[in-house]
Structure formats: C-alpha cells, structure tokens
Amino acid sequence: MNFEEEIKRRRTFAIIAHPDAGKTTLTEKLLLFGGAIQSAGAVKSNKIKKSTTSDFMEIEKQRGISVSTSVMAFDYKNYKVNILDTPGHEDFAEDTYRTLSAVDSVIMVIDCVKGVEPQTRKLLEVCRMRATPVIVFVNKLDREGQNPFDLLDEIEKELKIKVRPLTWPIGIGKSFKGVYNLIEKSLNLFTGDSKTTVEARLKFTDINDKQIDKLITEDFATQLRADVDLIDGVYDDLNVEKYLEGKISPVFFGSAVNNFGINELLDCFVDIAPGPKPRDTDDGSVAPNDKKFSGFVFKIHANLDPKHRDRIAFLRICSGTFERNKYYHHVRDKKALRFSNPTAFMAQQKSIIDEAFPGDVIGLYDAGNFKIGDTLTEGSNFNYKGIPSFSPELFRYVNNLDPMKTKQLQKGLEQLTDEGVAQLFTRKVDGRRIIGTVGALQFEVIQHRLKAEYNASANFDQISLYKALWIACPDRKKLEAFMQDRNAHIALDKDEKPVFLAESAWLLQMAQEKFPEIEFHLKSEF
C-alpha cells in the first residue's frame, strides 16, 4: 500500500462524554467489533473483576472512571482506526482538551436518561472552536429514558448544533425492540443479550411491509412509520460536507453495554469521518501528504508499566512517514533524537512498530526530553500550535511526609506534572512548591500515584489563591521592577516562566492598574 493510500485509510477520533454516559463501555465494544479484543470488560461492576481495556491505571480500576486518555488502534474494513478514550470527569478536562487537538473527529456519547449534561456542553465548545466533526451516539436505550424527539431537540438547543438521526429507536427501556436504520431501511432487533456481537439486520424495501408488524407488533410498527414520516419532514438529509465542517451531526441510538447499535455507528463512521487534515504551525499549514515527517507531543505518561518506570510521550503524526531508528529533529531542544522502540498501543499493551503514518498516534520512550506541545520534524524548524496550559482553578501547598524520600518526591512531582494532570509552581520568596489543578480529584490521583509509583509520601495544605497568571512585558526592567514589588506573590512554573499568584480578583485588579505595562495571561501559550 502506498503512502497516499495509507493516509486515506486512517481514522483518528476521540470519544467524549459526561462521566458515566457509557463512553469507556462504547470504546470497549468498538474494539470488540473491530476484532482488537476477545471480550469486553465491565465498567463499575462488582461481580466482574475484569477491568476495561482503556482503564489501566490502578485508581481507574478502583473507581470505575477514566482519569487519563488512553490510545487504542484496530483495523476495520481496511481502515486503520485510532481511538483516543478521554477522561469524562470534569477534574481531568485539560487532558481531554489537549487530546482533542490530536484527533480529526469526535464521537460524543449522550445518556438517553440524563440527556445533555454540563461536561457535554464544555466538550462540544472545544470541538466547535476547532470545527471538529461530531457524531452523536445516544446510549442506554435499554433503560427508561427521554422521548427521542425531545432528546434531539435538547441536543440542538443546548449544544447549538444541528442533528440528523440515521437510526431510530423502536420503544425504550423495557419496551425497547431495536432500531430502524433510516439509510439502509433495515430493522435491527434487540434481544437484550449482552453476549451478542453479531446483529441480525432485516432489510425492507418498504417500511409498510406487514412483516415488520409481525416482528415488533402492530402498535410499534404504526408508531415507527409515524416517526419516520416526521423525521423525513423535519430533518434535512445528511450533508456530508456540512458534517465535515462541524455544522451537522449524525445521530445513532443504541445500548453499548449490550453491544447494540455499535455496528451501524462504526460502519457510518469509517465511511464519512475525515482522514488526517492539514494542521497549523507557526510557519504556515502542513498537509498530511507532505513527504517530510512531522508530529507533536500532546500527552506524556509516566510509569505506564510501573515495573519498568517507563515514561512515554504520545506523538500525533501530522505529515510524512515516521521510521524506527531514524534521527529526527527536536525543535525546542535543537537536538537530534533516534527512537529504537516506537510503540503502537492497545491501552497499556504495547507493540514495537517499524513505521507509522499521518493520523497515527505512537508512543516514544522518553528520558525527559519531551514536554507537552513539543514538535518533532525531519529537520524543519516550526512548531505546531494550539496546545497551551491553562490557569488552574485550585491550589495546594505540597508537604513532604518523609524527608528520606525527598528525591523520589521531587522526581514524582516533576514527572506527573510533565503529564499535564497538574501544574507545579515554586514560590520565589520561600521555595515552597504549589500544585495547581482544575479539579479536586486530581490531588487524590497525584497523592495515590506518588505513593504507588514513586514510594513518596505527601499531603497538601490549603492555600487561598484566586488565579495564577503568566506575566510578560516587552521592557525587561519593568518586569523585574514588578516582580520585586510583588515579590511575595511571584512564582516560577516548570519552565522558569514567571507567574503572578493573585489572592483575589481585587488584588489582581490593583496590580493591573498600578502596572499597566505588565501583561497577565490565563494560558501559557501567548
């Protein structure tokens, strides 16, 4: 297969949702249908001890939630599908935002019982900023949920996106009979058997076929015909170009835990979802079919295998062919790096690869060379744009509980904050370290991982801070004067960039008024 064909067959996407909408379960079932795994794990099951493929960190297995983006790949109908399963929990939103910079499209999971939830709105806002195409999967049809028309109205109103159903549910909850495929004009009957992996699709050239009445009863058949008439009258036909522009979203209905409705979703996805797209750099746009290799690091994970203390950088390939054992240019460090063990992923299971193409996400063993946002090229000096750090919402002082393990604690804090789960600031006045996060659960995860992976004990003290803002000024002397004047409120981030720690909105406003030439930034990329 030639280079152009390899690019065309790539489909790289993220699955996003509010917590507990069934996102990780859907990931499992896509892998199951793609033949990548033999049996699916159960999320949040006391009876089944097997955990899901994508939730591999110990704390994820204990809580039944995803707290870190996982990368998985499989082949389906001659397409190479790369799934990035993201954390749903809002405390880990920053990891999800960065992941969305590395994909070409998105599948959004909505719980038919709860409908549109707060995290769903935030995630779709990020997709809208990048004009990312979105397919909607309405999950948990086997539970008593909302009327599907009401749900579609809610999606359009709350998320401000046009929708077009491509499958339609027959009944819901205990009366759920299956889905009707509006494109293929086929009926897919629901058996309620979670072991079913092959769905029986019955095709009908005419929806008025009396055979449908026998299969789902006359009442449900009458309702289905009325619903289909209404859908055809209210919703425009799917315009694939508008979908690719992020202006309309196809909608599928199903039950991920029962393997139901997944086939239709996957078939449509590989058919219409975009392949790798051109990406912006600080030196113009780079097309995927550019022969010279380039890519960027959007995630770093320490101790993917705790036994080996490995540190892996997740690299999205944007152009050219990546080759094992070839030297590449690290733009920020101006170094030539060679990778003898580049890996492809199935969550924590890794396999060494010899080459990879645009759209692929690969893992590079890292001895501390990479930071999130770094660009790797075949010699060019440009950087991919759009992967900033955001100002944290919550702050805590770090306390070392075991002075004998100071080095382990320092290494753990450095590596875990390299991953982007939190930010590390060091106060200039006393050298105390401050962890900043967007959610409280991250402190628990950091504490757990410091102990489990670095054998370091720490706890956190409250600190009353309103914001941490990166500061800059064209006049170096004025910047130094400001830092001297506000010495007690100045810290350095991991890159030695100065940060202003504002204890309140009023103190920030006072600083801005007294020093109008100082720039205050809510994100590190400015």
Distances (CA, A) of 230 to 154, 209, 254: 17, 18, 20
Q: What is the mean pLDDT of the chain?
A: 84
Query: What is the distance between the alpha carbons of residues 101 and 223, in angstroms, rounded to a whole number?
Result: 42
Domains present along the chain, CATH in parentheses:
3-272 (3.40.50.300), 279-377 (3.40.50.300), 394-521 (3.30.70.3280)
Given a contact cutoff of 8 angstroms between Cβ atoms, the answer to whether 292 and 337 are in contact is no
* Number of DSSP helices (H) and strands (E) in the chain, helices first: 14, 31
Least confident residue range of 93-97, 104-108, 109-113, 171-175: 93-97
Report the pLDDT averaged over residues 108-115.
92
Given a contact cutoff of 8 angstroms between Cβ atoms, the answer to whether 285 and 404 are in contact is no
pLDDT at 98: 78
Is residue 252 over pLDDT 50? yes
Close Cβ partners of 183 (under 8 Å, ≥ 6 residues apart): 166, 268
CA pseudo-torsion sign 71, 75, 81, 86: negative
pLDDT at 383: 92
Distances (CA, A) of 325 to 23, 286, 486: 36, 24, 49
- Does 135 or 71 have the greater pLDDT score? 135
DSSP state of 405: G
Report the pLDDT averaged over residues 32-57.
47
Confidence of residue 27 (pLDDT cuts 50, 70, 90): confident
283: nearest Cα among 381, 185, 206, 213: 381
SS3 assignment, position 83: strand
Query: What is the distance between the alpha carbons of residues 374 and 382, in angstroms, rounded to a whole number?
Result: 10
212: nearest Cα among 183, 255, 263, 178: 178
Give the burial string for 441-468 (b: 16+ CB within 10 Å, else e): bbbebbbebbeebbebbbebeebebbbb
pLDDT digits (tens, 9 = 90+) for 184-217: 888 888 876 544 444 566 777 788 888 888 888 9
Report the pLDDT averaged over residues 495-524.
92
Give the burial string for 383-397 (b: 16+ CB within 10 Å, else e): bbbbbbbbbbbbbbe
Report the pLDDT averaged over residues 391-399.
89
- CA 225 to chain centroid, in Å, comes to 38
pLDDT at 60: 45
> Can you read off the two tokens belonging to residue 190?
């629901």
> Can you read off the two tokens belonging to residue 51?
């955990």
Query: What is the distance between the alpha carbons of residues 93 and 100, in angstroms, rounded to a whole number?
Result: 11
| Tokens 């804090």, residue located | 413
φ and ψ of 28, to 5 deg: -55, -45
395: nearest Cα among 425, 421, 416: 425
pLDDT at 430: 92
pLDDT at 44: 35
Given a contact cutoff of 8 angstroms between Cβ atoms, the answer to whether 15 and 27 are in contact is yes
pLDDT digits (tens, 9 = 90+) for 297-352: 988 876 555 555 567 888 999 999 999 999 999 999 999 999 998 988 654 456 78
Alpha helices in 36-105 (DSSP H): 58-63, 93-100
Given a contact cutoff of 8 angstroms between Cβ atoms, the answer to whether 365 and 345 are in contact is no
pLDDT digits (tens, 9 = 90+) for 255-265: 988 888 888 89
